[in-house]
Structure 1
Amino acid sequence: MSKLKVAVIGCGSIAKHRHLPEYASNKEVEIVAVCDIVEERVEEFATKYEAKAYTNYEELLLNSDIDAVSVCTPNYLHAPISIAALNAGKHVLCEKPMATSKEDAEAMIKVAEVTGKKLMIAHNQRFVPAHQKARQLIDKGELGKIYSFRTAFGHGGPEGWSADGLDSWFFKKEEAFIGAMGDLGVHKTDLLRFLLGEEFVEVGAFVETSAKKNADVDDTAVCVLKTESGIIGTLAASWSYVSKEDNSTVIYGEKGIMRLLDNPVDSLIIQYQNGEVAKYELGKIQTNEAGGQNNSQVIDRFVKSIIENEDSPVSGIEGMNSLQVVLAALESQKTKKIVSL
């Protein structure tokens, strides 16, 4: 069988560390094109992956050889490029957050339905082994009734790893639309929906810019969330954690407490009510650090869904529901009220 021909639009850090190397290591795939508005950047990747270089995505989409694209651009371009790619007959893997409004997200979903092409949103936290195991254990009733949770995703900010450093689009409202809450918070709204198997119905939030002098988007956010069955908890997303990254989630249930990525060795720990402790060493989360280059599974699952014609591993609707919690947090900050979804 001939290989799946893919293109990557946007050659910043996420493309460099995740999409391109993971496509390159997938035996079913051939990288045929790369696109970026920065000419020397795109030429470098074109040479490295023996692909055709484009500086205009519309031109790239006219290439009928391409079966699928990854959209790795600044947030404000996710929806228009994804919609153009779907209309051009390509399957689409779009980085998160999938769009900057519910309307744009709905438009993406509709076009995917009309064209019959796959649309996947790159929510990698679902595929972390500890999170997969946690979902199974929660589904099995290992914690009993879930009461509460707390989750955090914070690090020192995009300047540490973005291709443009301090001048990154991440800090510019017209390109990013939303800061730490869109970059990191949406990972956790998606993860919690995945783990708890429920939608959020109410959101209250403080979304501030307190750490970054060069940003006109938020860098520190704390949200209070409530699910349809009444599980309540907190979500923190921040670019102001200047030392060690925090990527932990704790779930409190009637039979015990589950700690995810909260311990450097055991990525899943359950502390039971009766004093017993279960520890699972399931490997760390994928990082972009040297030596931490394990596979995020996002690319492999996207490729498999196309080749085997399976449902999208993280559908547009899933992406939209995770985005809506983030949009509600912004609204809560603006109105100083609890927002109902």
Structure 2
Amino acid sequence: MAKTTGKPVRVALVGCGGIAAEHVKGFIKHADRIRCVGMCDVSAENLDKRTRQYGQPTRPFSDWKVMLREMAGEIDAVDICLPHHLHAQAILDATAAGKHVICEKPMCMNLEEADRIGAAVKRAGVTYMSAHNQLFMPAVQEAKKMIDRGDICRVYLVRSQDCFWANWGEGGNPFKGSWRAQLQTQGGGELIDTGYHPTYRLLHLAGSNVASVHAQMARFYQQIEGEDSASVQVRFENGAIGEILTSWAFANPYGTHQIHVIGAGGQIFGSLETLYFLPQGWHEPAKMSFQPVNTFEAQIGHFADCLIEGKRPIHGYEEGRAVLEVIVKATQSAAGWAR
């Protein structure tokens, strides 16, 4: 069991850009369990935005190494919301300082970095949580319960998708000129970014190790070096088939859902807070509706509970590496698509 912390958990936010705003909402929502004591960003503007959003005093920094040194006794954990190419070093520095870590997706950019992170987390005896927020989506949580309970018997097919047309910003090209447009800083294309969500949902619902991965990729619209669309086929060791569809060039196919699981005893499918169950032999599915959940707030609350109680996160280092391995293998399988 990893070491526990006091209550509230004292966390430092590293990276104060757009996605960090969702994490700050979690700090505010769960103020009784987690308190942000420091913020770090090279942009003074980003620091100011997150400080004003949080509304509580925090120490500002422009260098996380300085922050870890100067606040050594004042921080229990680090929340990493940086561009992809900075994730690995920030995680390694935080664990070397004996701090628990929650990190935005992806954990890092390649399996060599992932293995270094795994060794560092084990050596430090700290908790590492992969920030896979969509695991807290009501449809995903209920589907997982039903699958594990055996409601659809043996699982045959798991499908997970996340597609939208990203056409905002100047000239309708939101990523042009940004770190997301470059392989060196992004680590790939759409699949290692938005595509991370349907990938971890797929592995979570399948509940089996991956046996093989094949993929097709394309760049239809975005002005980026990597792909903006990917179709990934997965074979699991338990025999189930997995499918991932993800894109920044088009929306989810009409009439489909974020998750769809088919088993010997029926089908489960849905999105967000709505889930349908179609038992074998039924002609119309039963509909289940749940209260909406802010998944970012939920994951921050879960992270705090894990540190206070010494529990393992729903997805830790091992799951983060497994997701990355699927993406790496998919990218290798689709090699040459850009020619």
| TM, length-normalised to structure 1 | 0.87
Unaligned runs of 5+ residues in structure 1 are: 287-293, 337-341
**C-alpha contact (below 8 Å) 2:51/2:58 kept by paired residues:** yes
- Distance in 1 of aligned mates of 2:152 and 2:251: 33
Pick 1 or 2: higher relative contact order, CA cutoff 8 A, min separation 6.
2
124 and 324 in structure 1: CA distance in 2 versus 1, 3 angstrom threshold: same
1:284 positional shift: 4.7
Does the CA contact (< 8 Å) of 2:23 and 2:297 recur in 1? no
Q: CA shift at 1:227, angstroms?
A: 0.6
Q: Kindly provide the amino acid, as one letter, of the partner of residue 289 in structure 2.
A: E
CA contact (8 A) 2:160 2:198 kept: yes
Match of 2:200 in 1: 190
**Shift of residue 143 of structure 1?**
0.9
CA distance in 2, matches of 1:150, 1:34: 38
Cα distance, 1:159 vs structure 2: 5.4
Distance 1:70 1:279, change over 3 A: same
Aligned to 2:187: 177
In 1: Cα distance, 2:151 partner to 2:252 partner: 34
Equivalent position of 2:127 in the other structure: 118
CA distance in 2, matches of 1:278, 1:298: 28
The aligned counterpart of 1:319 is 320
Q: Give the superposition deviation at 1:335.
A: 6.8
The corresponding residue for 1:290 is none
C-alpha deviations, 1:82-120, integer Å up to 9, x for none? 110111121100111101111111111111111111111
Q: By how many angstroms is 1:43 displaced? A: 2.6
Match of 1:80 among 69, 85, 89: 89
Q: Which runs of 5+ in 2 are unaligned?
A: 1-5
Q: CA RMSD in A?
A: 2.3
Question: Hey, what does 2:28 align to over in structure 1?
Answer: 24
Deviations 1:169-194 (A, max 9, x none): 22222111122101122222211111
The reply to whether residue 156 of structure 1 matches residue 165 of structure 2 is yes
Q: Could you tell me which residue of structure 1 aligns to residue 19 of structure 2?
A: 14
Q: CA deviation at 1:4?
A: 1.8
TM-score (norm 2): 0.88
Cα gap change, 1:39/1:295 in structure 2, threshold over 3 Å: closer, same or farther? closer
Please name the residue that 1:273 is paired with.
280
* Residues in 2 aligned to 1:81 and 1:48: alpha-carbon distance in whole angstroms: 24
Change (3 A) 1:200 1:239: same
Structure-2 residue corresponding to 1:46 = 51
Specify the SS of the correspondent of 1:69: strand
Q: Distance in 2 between matches of 1:313 and 1:232?
A: 23
Paired residues of 1:128 and 1:296 also in contact (CA < 8 A): no
Q: Partner of 2:231 in structure 1?
A: 222
What is the percentage of aligned positions where both structures have the same residue? Answer: 28
Note the C-alpha offset of 1:241.
2.0
Q: Deviations over 1:49-83 (max 9, x none)?
A: 32121111111111111111111001111111011
Q: State the aligned residue count.
A: 321
Q: Structure 1, residues 20-41: CA drift from partner, whole Å, max 9, x if none?
A: 1101221122211111111222
Q: SS of 1:334's equivalent?
A: coil
